[in-house]
Amino acid sequence: MVSASDRSLLLALSVAALLAWLAVAAVLTSVHPEANPLGRSIGALSIGIAVALTACPLLWSLGRGAQSPSDGAWPTAGRRALLIGLVVSVVVLLRAIDALAMPLLLFLVGTAVLVELAFIVRGRATR
């Protein structure tokens, strides 16, 4: 059963994600990356934020069945969404400056997976 506070947070994050994707559309249609030196960074950051805001409710809905309500699925979903958004921002920025290579991509994703595994192991050790 979904509580009223969970439903409110879910709705707020969904609206924020929609607004973030509208901001991505505005940035991609109005900021030229070669004319504006910060255009690439602004675009990468806006895409990362939009992906993180989109991923958080999805990760919460997938992860809440695996945890008891007292454990709190929102902090875990938020941490994972933040990690995904950070990786996406870095990948988009590296792609925009033509510095992305497969070994670097694998390193970034592998590092993100290791960070999440460290949080999982730490969480199980404290129980």
| The predicted structure's pLDDT at residue 33 | 80
Residue 59's region, left for phi above 0, alpha for psi from -120 to 50, else beta, is: alpha
| The predicted structure's pLDDT at residue 126 | 77
Question: How far is CA 119 from its chain centroid?
Answer: 16
| The predicted structure's pLDDT at residue 68 | 53
Low-confidence ranges of the chain (pLDDT < 50): 70
Instruction: Copy the structure tokens of residue 30.
Output: 């109005």
